[in-house]
Amino acid sequence: MITLAVFVMAFGNVGLAQNTINLRSIGRAAMLKHYGLRDRNDVVPQTAEWQDTDGDKYRVTYEYDENEYTLMTEIYEVLWDGIWQEYEIISYEYGFEGEVLEMLVQDFDDEGWMDVARASYTYENGMVSEVILQYFEDGEWVNVEKAVYNYNGSTSTILYWDWNGTTWSSNELYTYTYGMDGMELLIQYMQGGAWQNDEKLTYTFHSSFSSAYFSEILEETWSNNAWVNDSRTTYSYDGDVFTSKQYEEWTGSAWEETERYSYTYEDGNAISGSCKVKEDNGFVPGNGDIEMAYAYNADTKSFYGFEVNMTYIDLTGVDENAQTVSFKVYPVPAENEIQIQAEGFQKAEVYSLTGQLIAESLQNKMDVSALASGVYLLKVYDQAGNSESQRIVVK
């Protein structure tokens, strides 16, 4: 059985931490840009393979909706006795505007694929307003944590709530304050009916806020009614390409470098990254969060280990070369049956938004009366094997 503990060790701060979906990381991403909508970059990740200092190897494959290239699933595998074995799947469900509505985590054990956790998203005015994290326990979904977002000009907040079994209780408050050259994140916890200082992170932007990238992150902790240095991450660039970063810890009187990260690029996308940690005889390969930047630093993926290699899909080439099928479907929304008009029609398939094949037909009509109300993906093929997809609504 591959457990969540293995997944956490391998996956680092990408999506899960200590058996929970890492809402903190999601929250930080949401504050830097509109979380949910896929960036319309020309390049998206295809695979990543990484390993740790114990010699364990992992990989992830990203699968996309072929029409809009929206990320649908992330499939995680571990190399076990020379064979790649799936152990975790993260799938996404989207709304009509492309916003993420749900992120579902499933784990593989002796009984097959099992639901583990999910995060549900609510939006207001096109921005994330609430995220609820739940675990699947004893056959039902159980609340764990809730994040509530508030946007107010140059200041934004995320208020985290814990579920005590019957009600929500406030836990931590993240306050983001933006400036022209950077951003400050203040982390506080509730004690004695008042918010108490805990940590402060000061982000200095590399060139412009739109890049959502940094030249430095300074972390301080609250001690004896004063802010005290804790750690510092410094980013280095070659032009606009992120090439390395250094992690330092405060000794009480000076900064001491403890971790080094370096990257190689191709066409502005990180294809490999490595981590080294300080030991008595210098820097040696060590485990860390390797932050792979692609599409000229517009997006990042992080992996916990000492070496990462990535491949990408060039959407420009896909868009130029793809042969699609022009078709019409009616009625919309559908209730009992849909009719499909397509030249050279061969077959049609209906998928859930998580990519599961639900129904198929060799005729240009399909009975959908048995489907639950909701949004589905209709995929139509012609006799040459070309295909096209679009969303349909069943009521």
pLDDT of residue 100: 80
Q: Give me the numbers of helices (H) and strands (E) for the chain, helices first please.
A: 3, 30
Instruction: Tell me the C-alpha distance between 149 and 36, whole Å.
Output: 14
Mean pLDDT highest for which of 2-6, 26-30, 297-301? 297-301
Whether the bond between 45 and the residue before it is cis, its omega within 30 degrees of 0, is no
Residues 94/98/99/100 CA torsion (nearest 10 deg): 30
pLDDT of residue 316: 62
- Helix, coil or strand: residue 288: strand
Q: How much is the pTM?
A: 0.72
Where is average pLDDT lowest: 15-19, 113-117, 138-142, 268-272?
15-19
Q: What is the pLDDT of residues 122-164, one digit of tens each?
A: 888 777 889 899 999 999 999 999 999 888 877 889 999 999 9
pLDDT of residue 96: 65
Quickly state the pLDDT bin for 67 (edges 50, 70, 90).
low
Helices of type H across 12-129 = 23-32
**Is 60 exceeded by the pLDDT of residue 89?**
yes
Mean pLDDT over 336-363 rounds to 82
- Helix, coil or strand: residue 201: strand
Higher per-residue confidence, 41 vs 280: 280
Higher per-residue confidence, 318 vs 268: 268
Instruction: Tell me the C-alpha distance between 360 and 347, whole Å.
Output: 7
Residues 264/270, Cβ–Cβ less than 8 Å: yes
pLDDT of residue 167: 96
